[in-house]
Structure 1
Amino acid sequence: MDIHLRPLAADDFDAELVGWYANDDGHLDFFTGSGRVFDRDTLVKDFELGRDTGRWFYYLIETAGAERVGTLKIGPIDVRNKTADLVALIGNRDFLGQGLATRAIALGNALAFERHDVRRLHSGIFATNVAAIKAYTRAGWFVEATMKGYYLRDGQPVDRVCVACLNPKYFPDS
């Protein structure tokens, strides 16, 4: 299935998109290590702050037929060091398990490197979130480190898998 990314707009934050961030089905159990809850006001505020400061950017993942699949966030961008986080969420549960996260991450890599001149992307993933680790590594990322017991889930330590992707413009030998 062909997908593309387009910049998220304020009017995209409708009930469907906001509903992607509800965790009634456990889909977001590994989305945030802090356990943050995402309601419409929180999402819009974060979107606007990123847009206004130019430090992070949201994109909507869509199919060729304009079906909304999820979101991708690049940032916050450390302008001095040209590094950034990249987070993809397949929010529309109808599209889970189709490899679209891998494709979205690969598209996000290109956007971060070409449009935002990021040298290095990084992210941290719960070690138990095998699907996310596979999605990132299949999109050209590599496992850089494992931080033992970084997260606490239900009182139990869970490792954090640190993944990264290097911009070939800055790292031609990678």
Structure 2
Amino acid sequence: MPNKNNVKIRLIPLEKQHIDDAYVSWFDNSDGHLDYFTGSGRTFTREVILNDFEKGKESGGWFYYLIQDCDGQSIGNIKIGPIDHRNKTSDLVCLIGNRNFLGKGIAVKAISIANEIAFKKYDISRLHSGIYASNIPSIKAYTKAGWFVEATLKGYYWKDGKPEDRICIACLNPKYFPEANGINNHEKLGSDE
């Protein structure tokens, strides 16, 4: 089992061959791990995963990265997109799929690296996402990775028969928002980009 403080990671562009049985198994929600992953309750079969990957690749609207440890073990993924090229904005989603790596601080490292990729490679000015208010681990991971809570949308989600707030988070590219220097101050943690 990896030690929390010693796990070094990298992000590599996801390729079709990475979408193997182990990767697909990350999207099995029998343990409830994905309860917060999609507000629509969408299920992810191999076909859906491959179709999303291919559509993103063809359109240039979103990009997937595989999170690996230094031994090449796959841990999860990052999706940058959909990118609004006109407004230079994008969503950024992190999934720690390999349950053996949950609670190890991997998401913070992966999000920090992905911030840099989005800002430098795709020239994104502003990253944003929304999180269920009860998903405290995700809120903590993003804010530790240089994001900030921007707003709360009251009753945005319908979960377990009642409304739940959406926490809107964002991260600003210092190239475009120099006054935000410090919001995005994070150590470069390693990437193949």
TM-score scaled by length of structure 2: 0.90
Aligned pair partner of 1:18 in 12, 21, 24: 24
Decide which of 76, 81, 94 is 1:70's aligned counterpart: 76
User: Which whole-Å deviations, capped at 9, do the CAs of 1:91-148 have from their partners, x for residues lacking one?
Assistant: 0000000000000000000000000000000000000000000000000000000000
Alignment partner for residue 122 of structure 1, among 93, 114, 128? 128
What is aligned with 2:53?
47
Q: Deviations over 1:58-82 (max 9, x none)?
A: 0000001101100000000000000
Partner of residue 110, structure 2: 104
Q: How far, CA to CA, are the matches of 2:124 and 2:45 in structure 1? A: 29
Give % identity: 59
- TM-score, normalising length from structure 1? 0.99
- Counterpart among 154, 157, 167 of residue 160 in structure 2: 154
Once the two structures are TM-superposed, the CA of residue 155 in structure 1 deviates from its matched residue by 1.2
Mapped partners of 1:154, 1:142: distance in 2 = 27
Q: Tell me what 1:31 maps to.
A: 37
Q: Distance in 1 between matches of 2:108 and 2:16?
A: 25
Task: Give structure 1 stretches of 5+ with no counterpart.
Answer: none
Q: How far does residue 38 in structure 1 lie from its aligned partner after superposition? A: 0.4
- The AA in structure 2 aligned to 1:108 is A
User: Over aligned residue pairs, what C-alpha RMSD do you find?
Assistant: 0.4
1:154 is displaced (CA, Å) by 1.6
Q: Which has the higher contact order (CA 8 A, sep 6+)?
A: 2
SS at match of 2:35: coil
Q: Aligned residue for 1:132?
A: 138
SS in 2 for 1:32: coil
CA-CA distance at 1:11 after TM superposition: 1.0
Q: Secondary structure at the match of 1:116?
A: coil
- Taking the aligned partners of 2:27 and 2:78, their CA distance within structure 1 comes to 13
Structure 2 unaligned blocks of 5 or more: 1-6, 181-193
1:145 paired residue among 151, 162, 165: 151
1:8-33 deviations in whole A, cap 9, x for unaligned? 00111111000001101000010010
